[in-house]
Amino acid sequence: MTQTAFSPGLRALAFPFMLMTAFPAFSQEECDGYRYRYTGAFDGVAVDYDVPYGENFNVNFLPEDLVVDVYTPEGDTQEARPLVVIAHGGFFLAGSNSGAEVVPLCEDLAQMGYVVASMSYRLGINILGYIPTEFIKAVWRGVHDSRAAVRFFRHSVDYGNPWAIDTNRIYLGGISAGAFIALHHAYVDEQSEIPAQIDVTDVGMGGGLEGLSGNTGYSSAVNGVFNIAGALQTTDFMDVGENEPLFSIHGTDDGTVPYGEGNISLLGFNLIDVNGSSVVHEKAEEIGLDHCLITMEG
């Protein structure tokens, strides 16, 4: 979906605030120095490109390899580091896990001491179908892929933990379309909540909540969510007892993904009603979920 009006640097600066306000898993001792607070905590970043994490059938019913770029702080000796998994934007039609909107954010967060994973996911909307339904299917393919990505990193810990990850601190977030994925990953957590538009017998859509994109047998749970200009299909997915703290940034005049209740629009056409960040945070307040919303005017 469209680029937001704030820079990757601003997003990175907001991340420590998110940790202090919404994600209580970080101790004060860990954040007293430069780590997790400043991009200057580490001078360099190492990147493992195109690490395979799964495979599934795409919108054209063809098998698609799923990959992740893994960013780590150079010279870091910490043996148990928080992992941040990020999904890019692009209206489920375009975008890349190595795109200009995500690379600076990944680099900044890695320089702060995080392990950062920029994930690819299956793109595509069947324009010959009923577009609102096809949009939800695209979101759901992304959710299945993000679940596989999180499972992949838990799997990696059992095989030498090459990126020195703490599996008790895995966070998922995204930008615009990627934020749709993150929100639905976290809060669609019951079989009965799978959207009615999803036919689990369709090619590439099977596997229930978890999907079939890879790394079965491991948990896809996350310890917190960040949402940059995303939305939920409905906040009815959010129930009392949710335990994934939520941090969001959203502009009030976003012309693609509404800040409140409204339509997603593409080329001036309204596609589907959704609940934007302000409504999601109202629901978070109602159910007692730790949350923080930064509203960008305009």
- pLDDT for the residue 79: 92
DSSP reduced 3-state for 61: coil
Distance from C-alpha of 87 to C-alpha of 131, rounded to nearest angstrom? 22
Is residue 221 scored above 90 in pLDDT? yes
Distance from C-alpha of 187 to C-alpha of 279, rounded to nearest angstrom? 14
Is residue 7 scored above 60 in pLDDT? no
The 10s digit of each residue's pLDDT in 126-159 is 989 998 999 999 999 999 999 999 999 999 999 9
Q: How confident is the model at residue 15 (pLDDT cuts 50, 70, 90)?
A: low
Is residue 175 scored above 70 in pLDDT? yes
More confident residue, 152 or 101: 152
- Where would I find the H helices in the chain? 8-21, 28-31, 103-111, 131-157, 177-187, 277-287
- Contact between 72 and 163 (Cβ < 8 Å): yes
- Residue 106 identity: C
Is residue 236 scored above 50 in pLDDT? yes
Q: State both tokens at 270.
A: 């309204």
- Contact between 36 and 129 (Cβ < 8 Å): no
More confident residue, 41 or 1: 41
Is residue 21 scored above 60 in pLDDT? no
pTM metric for this prediction? 0.92
Is residue 23 scored above 90 in pLDDT? no
Is residue 277 scored above 80 in pLDDT? yes
Indicate the average pLDDT of the chain.
89
Is residue 25 scored above 50 in pLDDT? no
More confident residue, 11 or 66: 66
Average pLDDT over residues 161-171: 96
Is residue 272 scored above 80 in pLDDT? yes
Ramachandran category for residue 162: left, alpha or beta (phi over 0 → left; psi -120 to 50 → alpha)? alpha
DSSP reduced 3-state for 15: helix
Q: How confident is the model at residue 30 (pLDDT cuts 50, 70, 90)?
A: low
DSSP annotation string for 67-89? EEEEEEETT---SSEEEEEEE--
Q: How confident is the model at residue 16 (pLDDT cuts 50, 70, 90)?
A: low
DSSP reduced 3-state for 294: strand
- pLDDT for the residue 4: 40
- pLDDT for the residue 298: 74
- pLDDT for the residue 36: 78
Domains of the chain, with CATH numbers? 8-296 (3.40.50.1820)
Q: How confident is the model at residue 269 (pLDDT cuts 50, 70, 90)?
A: confident
Distance from C-alpha of 116 to C-alpha of 88, rounded to nearest angstrom? 13
- pLDDT for the residue 40: 79
- pLDDT for the residue 34: 72
